[in-house]
Structure 1
Amino acid sequence: MSEPRRRIKTAEIPIVKQALLQRQHHKCCLCPEPLTMASACLDHNHKTGLIRGILCRNCNGIEGKIYNLANRAKRTLTPKDFLGQVILYWIKHETDQTGLYHPLHKTADEKRERTNRKARQRRAKAKETVQ
């Protein structure tokens, strides 16, 4: 029989974090980042208050933002259903659907050329300043 649900005390946070870290093999639940007690965040469901696990700081912050954005965007869907639709959309559109590029998209070569052009301009300007 499982223990009844209860609110942990602030003093119990390190004990719970350590137990969850061991259960998760000192890894973030969402990414492969190795975790220490200092880098581990105790993740919880903001609706229910129930602790879900340990996340790295980055994933903990992003998970909250994703949930809030999905909750805002969902329309008639639940946030989970909305995110499921987003993932299905990404999978469906991994391959070329239209053969058209967005006008603001830059290829890796175009980005590199722009960076090099800016660097040349900075060097030329610095050279003018020196003379």
Structure 2
Amino acid sequence: MLRFADLVEKHSEELASLETWDNGKPYQQSKTVEIPMFARLFRYYAGWADKIHGLTVPADGNYHVQTLHEPIGVAGQIIPGNFPLLMFAWKVGPTLACGNTIVLKTAEQTPLTAFYAGKLLLEVRYMR
């Protein structure tokens, strides 16, 4: 996820252009506000990955109570048309950090940044 944030910063021009095309917001807002926030969110969620673990909880009597935090599997996520790139981060970041997979449905009016972010995620997968 940290490598993905680096790629986002490297491709910030393309992402900002697509975000502007997607929903008509000013390019300057996309470039200076949303793209940096998008990268910061993925760096933040990357920090979750090594902090999610089980606990042993004290219990009354002769009992042993243990909690396990495990991935639940596939998470279905729907992104509305407003703030598509930030919504992508808010949905995909925590899901991946917790070890789950995702099926993502974008608003049909604003799919471009999610497609491009997915392409960048594939690039990260094959980076060494």
Q: TM-score range by the shorter chain?
A: under 0.3
TM-score for both structures, normalised by structure 1 = 0.25
Name whichever structure is richer in strand by fraction.
2
TM-score for both structures, normalised by structure 2 = 0.26
The structure whose Rg is larger is 1
Bigger relative contact order, structure 1 or 2 (CA pairs below 8 A, ≥6 apart): 2
